[in-house]
Amino acid sequence: MYFVLPAHVIDDSPATLDAMDLLLARVIYEVHVVLVPDGDLVEQTHWFLGLPSHRRDFVRKMIYASAFHSSHKTNQTRVIVIGDTLDLLAAARLAYVPLTILVEDKFSDGLLLEAAIQAFGSDNLLRLWRSTL
């Protein structure tokens, strides 16, 4: 999922700082993507300035990548604009909600899921999937 993070949603409240940390952790583990249209403003926030140097470097790379992001990919993926559709804390919670897929039966739908896992999943996920068969 893509989260768009405008700078105006970042304030210095403890809840916002915690939500930013939660969202950043999901980006670090490559679960979601955060696009930062106002990267220069984000770098001036207390949240950013209070990050350890390795996390600041990661956020800078995330901001840099946002500048070169193709809108073609976001047309095919769910995009959440933080502040428009959800507040920052709700977006951070949403980033941790597991994907649930309901299938009719193991054989026909299972083949579809196995193909998706092979195409998009990690090696660990593929091993886990195959261990349940």
Is the domain of 20 the same as that of 66?
A: yes
pLDDT value of residue 68? 74
pLDDT (tens digit per residue) in 67-110:
776 654 545 557 778 888 788 888 888 888 877 777 777 777 87
Is the domain of 36 the same as that of 61?
A: yes
Is the domain of 108 the same as that of 45?
A: no
Is the domain of 23 the same as that of 84?
A: yes
Is the domain of 61 the same as that of 89?
A: yes
pLDDT value of residue 38? 82
pLDDT value of residue 70? 60
Residue 53 pLDDT > 80: yes
Is the domain of 85 the same as that of 107?
A: no
pLDDT value of residue 77? 59
10-17, long-range: CB < 8 A, 24+ apart? 10/42, 10/45, 10/47, 10/88, 12/45, 12/46, 12/47, 15/89, 16/47, 16/88, 16/89, 17/46, 17/47, 17/50
- Mean model confidence pLDDT for the chain: 81
Range of the domain at 107: 101-133
Would the pTM count as exceeding 0.95? no
Is the domain of 71 the same as that of 131?
A: no
Residue 2: beta bridge partners?
Answer: 33, 79
